[in-house]
Amino acid sequence: MGFESIQSLADATSNTHDNLSGYERGKSLVPPLYVQRLKTLFGVSHDWIYGNDLSCMRPDLAVKIEKTPITD
């Protein structure tokens, strides 16, 4: 699932652009309810969200994440 903008991700997770920007920049803490929404939407684990640990993730999803280049 891809998002064309931060606003489309905000909409999909019932959040605001400003909140997501604050999370990204470390200006505000990510609430547990938002983490749960990410888990549900993307099928990822807490371990991956908080520590980039792929060992607790579905194997097919872990492979896709490992192969995805990181861009700035």
Is pLDDT of 2 > 80? no
pLDDT in tens, 8-53: 888 988 899 999 989 888 898 888 888 888 888 888 877 777 777 7
Q: What is the C-alpha to C-alpha distance for residues 51 and 13, in angstroms, rounded to an integer?
A: 21
Q: From residue 48, give the alpha-carbon distance in Å to each of 4, 29, 38.
A: 22, 17, 11
- Looking at the whole model, is its pTM more than 0.75? no
- Mean pLDDT value of segment 1-12: 81
For residue 64, the model assigns a pLDDT of 78
